[in-house]
Amino acid sequence: MERVETDILILGSGGAGLFAAHHAADQNPNLKIIVSAKGLIGKSGCTRMVQGGYNVVLHPDDSFEKHFKDTIKGGGGINDQELAWTLVNDAPKRIRELETKMGVFFDRNEDGTIHQKPFAGQTFDRTVHKGDLTGIEIISRMRDQLYAKPNVTAWDEVRAIDILFDEEKHRVAGCLMLNMRTGEFIVVHCKAVIVGTGGAATMYKIATPSLEKSGDGMAMCYRAGTEFLDMEMMQFHPTGLLAENSRLNGGVLEEGLRGAGGYLINSLGERFMKNYDPERMERSTRDRVSRAAYMEIMEGRGTPLGGVFVDVSHLGKENVRRMFPGMVERCRDVGKDLSMEPVEISPAAHFHMGGVRITNNCESNIPGLFVAGEDAGGVHGANRLGGNGVCDSTVFGARAGDAAVSYINTIGTSGKISDAQVQSFINDIVKPFHNDEGENPFYIRNELKNLMWEKVGLVRNGKDLEIALDELRILEERIERVSVKGSRHYNLTWQEFLNVRNLVTIAKMVTASALMRTESRGSHYREDYRERNDEQWLSNIYVTKGEDGEPRYHVEKTKQTRIDVATMEGNKIEVASK
């Protein structure tokens, strides 16, 4: 077993992880920093897949108050308002940093200013972008600049297993890691861990994230004892490409298609959004558009592949190919010409608004454990606005890096890790090699995806949620009986065991929280409680691990620190400064 000493360990190489690394390294070039990715750094993760762009206040006619109000309104009023205010205020700083320090060059207007385009759910066109493949530009430039920092070490295909504590269990002292290529364990001794591994939307049958995402960071944080909130809030992107029997199935067609004037059409040729949000039509928020498409499909007005159509051909072939070259290419991969014909799409599980409860500086309730990006909850409330995702990861990734440096400056030496603690974690995850006959984790994963799609998806009800909870407990028991053959070297069956173990941990929290919330709000829709109920449910559901290892839930009223959500529909909105 290899042992490695470092100051800061960063898990994940998306926007959150890379920004954390840059900020920590710049704060103190003498620190040792490791960035570890389950895939290949710069080539994996969800930030790289961002197409639409980045919401930021740049135009003189826009304001922080407008962006903040849009974010709170989109989030159904249960956002952590301090986190949301931090998001909109820090975003311009991160854009300047991306351009001037990382070398990102966003699309420009003729006068040289950054071009900003419309995105759904926003009252101002504030989304900056690089064509329709913004994430590739951001991550590629951040990766290149990272390799220029001598105090940062990058690990490819090394996944995190569990957080390690010092002998008194007062603070984080390291992390147990697994080199996926060799099957060997690595104990990393460090003073701070930053978690930015992404969400767990891949627990659903149709999902948009990169394939390696399996809620690893969230599951580790849960086992370590962090507090979670809003776990019932899973966003479904309304325009996931339908590509039958292909890994492209669920791949996102970006929000800008609707922002630019694209139509959503059912099998009868009707623009069905007129029946759900006649004022905003296709530019409604993601939760409403996704649910509308789902209802059309369920009521028999779906396409041959069980979806609906997105049509931008009326915008003109040349315009579509100029504005959305990446999307045209993606559709061409499945034999469709987006510029000339309607393309079949479906809602697809996309982004987890819930996650670890953090402070403005990404601190969890465990000293030395910082969480940023999709692993953290509170910023987006019940529904995230398109364009606020990469904004979130860069804003809070930067803060996590800064805060981790400040923290380790105060603690002196690293904590001591007991061999017994390490061996206990290793014993748990090598069990499948000792089961001669048993369950196949790939079969369990498929059952999980179907269960969550059918019982805990876009439209929920109490009966189905109770059934799902019972089924998840059974899946959890079956995971204990998984059998893995062969060596540990790049053993994909073993990796899938680790994946599905983490996904079921998160799925239980999602399902139980959804059962508790007896109303409909944002991305959470209960057909047995169709109305929003602010009197009872202008609240957040919190989750912690009990002494028996099972989740414990409690409810707290959402704090109205800057804006009274009850006035959101009015014309005079005052946002207090702090």
Query: pLDDT at residue 9 above 80?
Result: yes
- Residue 286: pLDDT band (50, 70, 90) is confident
Question: 234 is written with which tokens?
Answer: 């899973």
Break the chain into its structural domains and give their ranges. 242-348, 429-545
58-96 pLDDT per residue, tens: 999 999 999 999 999 999 999 999 999 999 999 999 999
* Amino acid (one-letter) located at 19: F
Position 251 scores a pLDDT of: 82
Phi, psi of 349 (to 5 degrees): -55, 135
Convert 111-176 into a string of H (helix), E (strand) and C (coil).
CCCECEECCCCCCCCCEECCCCCHHHHHHHHHHHHHCCCCCEEEECCEEEEEEEECCCCCCEEEEE
Distance of CA 39 to the CA centre of its chain: 16
Across the chain, mean pLDDT equals 93
What's the rounded Cα separation, in Å, for the pair 367 and 440? 38
Domains 242-348 and 429-545 belong to one CATH topology: no
Position 421 scores a pLDDT of: 94
Position 412 scores a pLDDT of: 80
Catalytic residue among 22, 94, 126, 258: 258
Query: pLDDT at residue 168 above 90?
Result: no
Query: pLDDT at residue 344 above 80?
Result: yes
Q: How many CB atoms lie within 10 A of CB 170?
A: 12
Query: pLDDT at residue 574 above 50?
Result: no
Position 539 scores a pLDDT of: 97
For domain 429-545, the CATH class is mainly alpha
- Whether the full predicted model's pTM is greater than 0.85, yes or no, is yes
Q: Answer yes or no: 159 catalytic.
A: no
Q: Answer yes or no: 23 catalytic.
A: no
What average pLDDT score do residues 550-561 get?
Answer: 96
What's the rounded Cα separation, in Å, for the pair 367 and 352? 24
- Residue 45: pLDDT band (50, 70, 90) is confident
Catalytic residue among 143, 189, 237, 399: 237
CATH architecture of 242-348: Alpha-Beta Complex (3.90)
Instruction: Give the three-state DSSP class for 296.
Output: helix
What average pLDDT score do residues 443-454 get?
Answer: 96
Position 356 scores a pLDDT of: 98
* Amino acid (one-letter) located at 345: I
370-429 pLDDT per residue, tens: 999 999 999 999 999 989 999 999 999 999 999 999 999 999 888 899 999 999 999 999
